[in-house]
Amino acid sequence: MKLRKLLSLVIMSVLILGALAFTPGAYAPVQAETEAVSASVVYNLYATDGFVKMADWAPGNPLLYIYGFIGSRSDQNLVWYDYTTNTANDTGAPAPAPTGGPVTPAEQFLAGKAQLPAPVIWAKVGDVVEIRLKNLGVHAEPSAPNDPHSIHLHGLDVDAANDGVPETSVGAVPANMCVDGSTDPGDNCTSAGGYAPGAGNVVVYMFTAETPGTSMYHCHQEADIHVQMGMYGALVVYDTNDPAGNANSTFCTGGLLNGKPCGQGPNSGTGGIYNGFRYDRDVIMLLSEIDSDYHNAEQGTYPVAPDPSNSNFGRAWNPVDYLPEYWLINGISFPNTIGVSNSAIDMAQWNVAFKGYDPLLTGSMSVTTNWSNAQWRTRGEKVLLRMINMGFETQPMHIHGYHLKVLGSDQRPWPWANRVLWGRPTPFNQGLEKNTVLIGSGETYELLLDFGQQESFSIYPTDTQTRYEPSDNTPRSNTSTTHPGIPHAGVVGDPSYIAGPTVTGAVVPLPDGTVAALDPTGTQIFPFHNHDDYKATNNGAYPGGQFTAVIPLP
Amino acid sequence: MQKKHQPVAKRNHNKRLWLAAGLVLLVSLVLVGAWQMRSQAATREAPEAAAILAAQANMPFQILIPAYMPKEVIREKVGISMTETGPGGEPMVQLVYRTKSDDTIFLKQWVPVNPEKEILAGSRPVQTVWGQGYMIAQGESLAAIWVDVGPTRVSIYTPTQKHITREEILQMANTLGPASSSQVFDFVLELPEVLAVEPAPPFEPPVNADGVQEFTLVVTPGGYDPLRIQLKQGVPVKMTFRAIGQVGCGKELLFRVSSSEVIEGRLETEAEQDVIEFTPQETGEFEFHCSHQMYRGMLTVVP
């Protein structure tokens, strides 16, 4: 009797289970959207040429000829910088998606407006990134070579066909030219024997962002020329839950973190976590150089050799004669790098056009945000420096007053940076902390800058020299009683301003050793520069070149 | 102690009970199994049809959805975005499907102005029911396919192939159809094989009035054009060799015309053209290439 009961129980349960399986709509409950979901990220880019100004440009001087990219993320307006008027121009819409075939009027508008550097491409792990590239050909200098262009995703380990190297991959995108090599005269090349093979192509590069880190993208067609000519930009991959890379990050409330919008990419003030270290903001330092001879050769203004009277080597331009005169951070040099405008660049406008590329380093020395790492909560904002060397030279980048903690390099975290000792993370004074980072061509570094390492103020005794005045070769002493405001990306009254406030009384030392009357606008300024000091010049004039500043704010 | 025997009739009764129970169990298992299979193999109305049709009102082309999607996909939760514009400023629609394990499948649809001029970098031509499509599969991560359904180009992609395979992506592409009449399903009898498309037939230059096979071989940074050439044995050939763009070693051509003969072409400048004349003597396949063998093409000589 017992056995029979047991049997029927078994049979019944099998039947019930079967019936359950048959129930319509037997789907698992729908999960809430989490922060980890993949997005489809699109950048519409155009290759073309253009003109820029170096930091020492003066009215009447020629502009520098470049090749480059112009375009935007598909959900952000295209804003481009015009070097002739020194204005940022918001087109009011994202860059148009490239159309295969002849250049459309909307695309033609972008011809000759190449930007230096190209827009930052950023995504988060798991996103599919689509970069659509069309080659508009040369426009600013119609006689320059109508070269093909490509996009090489430096450091992303894509397969060879997708690697953007014309000799080993899908071919570069040819300019919109006719079969005889001439530019389309406007009749779709019918009068010139038809289009060249591949002319007007739109090549779509697709990849999945897989590893958080910093990398770069650049044209690999005749890489020596096209990289030097300016065809490069930064590429940043955030971790899935990084506020800067994800508007739905669990660290954000209503899309905001500390009042700033999440999911806005580099230098937007929301930060993320890299190699276990939380950072409040990330700043791109994309290093490169300019040898104007290269640019003049492409433009056709390099003196024809042999001409020993010229500054060249008495022969036609040869890349082994490389001798740069300008060293750039994010496409600009000092004093523009610290937010100072001059006749070359209006930095307020520049910062609107080159979103995410501001190279001036500021941060609070005292703020401990909720976002700061609870495990090693120390005062001061933490800034992740994404250093990229896109130039041909090796650069020793030296920071004053701080040590930079190496968190990773070349898209890989450095394991020793985040060692746990005695069961506790020991974030500082171990691992690899450097004041001079030697970065070779093609390398990238993730470096943590802790603004808590310095005070925002310093004491300058009256009547001591704090500044050297380049205009008349005389020292300046502390006699002023006002502070120079160093607004973030604002205009400093004296463009030759370089280091050390010209003021006294920023703080008042009291007999008991404390200080009083701290003015929030008074601040220390630390240089951060290339320690091959001749590279801290603009064509030989110091200060200039790869030179920016670190300003700890209260 | 005397052993107690059970009566024979009782033992037989027990045996029969076991047998009956086993039979019932077997039958019910088979029934449940059949039920399960039927329930899995049933098509159903597309749960996202209403949402798609609502979006359709704003689109000049028919939005397509895959009739087949893996069981993991939660069709009900489709996201529809029309913010991105396609080439020429034309509309573009993007459907985003999530799976139970938080994987994502994107479908992007637009009407290309010149379909042959929009190229998916690094993709390989594959066979689909719509004709030739293009597929990209990067290791274990990205899988994407482009297919043209009439004038509409559909791009289906997923960031990772951990749970969704390239065969499933192909099957989704093969079963694209309008949402209005869609009976959708999540089973397959057999997934389609990803088959590479046969290369296009080689270029056969016409024989001109002088009885010469005349054509131009162009080398560009993207390679030779034409890439594959078919010539007739014994008929004279006049080939003009030229370059467009910066081709590096492509300026030097090593053109093999038989197992024993290689004709060299050389261009000093971009404007230059090199005329090569010969008569193919030997049938067979001969590879031609630049001096560094970076650019390669194939010559076939037929009788």
Task: Confirm whether the ipTM is greater than 0.85.
Answer: no
* pLDDT tens per residue, range A199-210: 889 999 999 999
- Give B263 to chain A, closest Cα distance, Å: 23
Last residue of a domain, one of B166, B184, B202: B184
Q: Is residue B267 in some structural domain?
A: yes
Evaluate if residue A533 carries a pLDDT over 90. Answer: yes
Q: Which residue has the higher pLDDT, B172 or A381?
A: B172
Query: Are B163 and B276 in the same domain?
Result: no
Domain tally for chain B? 2
The span from the CA of B107 to the CA of B94, in Å, is 6
Residues in chain A with CB shorter than 8 Å from the CB of B220 are 148, 171, 174, 196-198
Evaluate if residue B260 carries a pLDDT over 50. Answer: yes
CATH number for the domain harbouring residue B162: 3.30.200.100
CB contact under 8 A, B138 and A208: yes
Q: Is residue B13 in some structural domain?
A: no
Q: Is residue B109 in some structural domain?
A: yes
Query: Are B178 and B86 in the same domain?
Result: yes
Residues in chain A with CB shorter than 8 Å from the CB of B245 are 146-148, 174, 196
Query: Are B221 and B269 in the same domain?
Result: yes
Report which of A508, A509, A507, A530 is spatially closest to residue A520, judged by C-alpha positions.
Answer: A507
pLDDT range class, residue A263, cuts 50, 70, 90 = very high
- Report the DSSP beta bridge partners of residue A137: A48
The span from the CA of B261 to the CA of B292, in Å, is 18
Which of the 8 DSSP states describes residue A63? P
Q: Is residue B87 in some structural domain?
A: yes
Residues in chain A with CB shorter than 8 Å from the CB of B117 are 100-101, 200-202
Query: Are B111 and B230 in the same domain?
Result: no
Q: From the list B86, B223, B246, which residue is nearest A222 (CB)?
A: B246
Residue B40 contacts A, CB cutoff 8 Å = no
Last residue of a domain, one of B144, B167, B184: B184
The predicted pLDDT at position A31 comes to 34
Query: Are B48 and B145 in the same domain?
Result: yes
Query: Are B177 and B261 in the same domain?
Result: no
pLDDT range class, residue B39, cuts 50, 70, 90 = low
Cβ atoms of A538 and A334 closer than 8 Å: yes
The span from the CA of A265 to the CA of A34, in Å, is 19
Q: Is residue B2 in some structural domain?
A: no
Please say whether the dihedral angle defined by the alpha carbons of residues A296, A299, A305 and A309, taken in this order, is positive or negative.
negative
Query: Are B263 and B133 in the same domain?
Result: no
The single-letter code of the amino acid at A483 is H
Establish, for the pair of chains A and B, how many residue pairs have beta carbons separated by less than 8 Å: 194
Evaluate if residue A495 carries a pLDDT over 60. Answer: no
Q: Is residue B54 in some structural domain?
A: yes
* pLDDT tens per residue, range A141-190: 988 888 889 999 999 888 887 788 877 777 678 887 887 777 777 777 88
Q: Is residue B207 in some structural domain?
A: no
Query: Are B251 and B141 in the same domain?
Result: no
Evaluate if residue A518 carries a pLDDT over 70. Answer: no
Mean pLDDT across A318-343: 91
- The residue of chain A nearest to residue B107, with distances taken between CA atoms, is A40
Query: Are B48 and B139 in the same domain?
Result: yes
CATH number for the domain harbouring residue B258: 2.60.40.420
Kind plus residue range of the DSSP H or E element containing A82: strand A79-82
Q: Is residue B143 in some structural domain?
A: yes
The single-letter code of the amino acid at A98 is P
Can you read off the two tokens belonging to residue B86? 């396609």
Give the sheet arrangement for strand B118-120, strand by strand: A64-73, A40-52, A128-137, A202-208, B118-120
Query: Are B235 and B174 in the same domain?
Result: no
Q: Report the percentage of chain B scoring pLDDT > 70.
A: 93
Query: Are B255 and B135 in the same domain?
Result: no
* pLDDT tens per residue, range A212-229: 999 999 999 888 999 999
Query: Are B50 and B163 in the same domain?
Result: yes
Last residue of a domain, one of B137, B167, B184: B184
Return residues 171-210 of B near A (CB < 8 Å). Answer: none
Evaluate if residue A470 carries a pLDDT over 90. Answer: no
Q: From the list A27, A202, A207, which residue is nearest B117 (CB)?
A: A202
* CA distances for B30 relative to B20, B39, B41, B174, B243, angstroms: 15, 14, 16, 33, 70
Domain around B143: 44-184
Return residues 84-143 of A near B (CB < 8 Å). Answer: 94, 96-101, 104, 106, 126-128
